[in-house]
Amino acid sequence: MNIILLGPPGAGKGTQAQRLVEKFGMRQLSTGDMLRAAVKAGTPVGLQAKAVMGRGELVSDEIVSALIGEELDAMGAGTGAIFDGYPRTAAQAESLDKLLADRGRHLDHVIELEVDEDALVERICGRFTCANCGKGYHDKFEQPKQPGVCDKCGSTEFKRRPDDNEETVRTRMAEYRAKTAPILPIYDARGIVARVNGMADIDHVTAAIERIMTA
């Protein structure tokens, strides 16, 4: 089973990917993580990538494809792959098809976690934490029982992440849509795209993804 998992920042994609790894023994292939690991390990592809990045250039599709090919070979045929952050272009989608086909694999599902942008803004922008113990709160969903006093440690100091603001969240959403726009129609045409409500309870989202994968 090989899937692409899509979802904007804040949709809970990382949590869901981790659950699939734990339950089905799948491997999450995040191109960013793989690049860093290859550079650190000094593999042939890693050395190539390091030279390119050292010149301030973008890592080419060929290098990324080689990395993914190495990972697929190392995983063994019985381990499913979760692709995260790849493909992002029609050319990369074509490369992925070939990488999989060369190894007797194919793409089974493209699962997109859908979010309500306004609700996501509210979810993220309302977050704050105790500056002392780190307990999380929310302007609307979870205020301290005694206003201005942390339930857990009694501190009266709270903080918010500087990037938990509406402008940043909406910019991230726009970037996400721009990145997925080129590839979703390709997979929609094949009938392998399934959409899940990413605003639902975490366990409900997990159950919905598992239903798609075991149907």
Among the listed residues 50, 127, 170, 179, the single catalytic one is 127
Catalytic residue check, 55:
no
Catalytic annotation on 172? yes
Backbone angles phi, psi at 163, to 5 degrees: -90, 5
Amino acid at 36: R
Q: Omega before 87 cis (within 30°)?
A: yes
Q: Are 199 and 116 in contact (CB under 8 A)?
A: yes
**Which of 50, 88, 170, 195 does the annotation list as catalytic?**
88
50, 172, 179, 195: which is the annotated catalytic residue? 172
Which one is catalytic: 13, 19, 27, 123? 13
DSSP annotation of 10 reads: T
Count of CB atoms situated within 10 Å of the CB of 56:
6
Long-range pairs of 76-79 with CB within 8 A, sequence gap ≥ 24: 77/103, 77/104, 77/105, 79/25, 79/26, 79/27
If DSSP codes are grouped into helix, strand and coil, which group holds residue 86? Answer: coil
**Strand-pair partners of 30:** 84
Can 161 be counted among the known catalytic residues? Answer: yes
Please state, in angstroms and rounded to a whole number, the distance separating the CA atoms of residues 110 and 80: 13
Considering the candidates 98, 152, 161, 177, report the single residue annotated as catalytic: 161
* Residues in Cβ contact with 159 at an 8 Å cutoff, skipping those fewer than 6 apart: 128, 129, 131
Angle (CA) 83-118-196 rounded to 5° is 35
Whether 13 sits among the annotated catalytic residues: the reply is yes
User: Which residues are known catalytic residues?
Assistant: 13, 88, 127, 161, 172
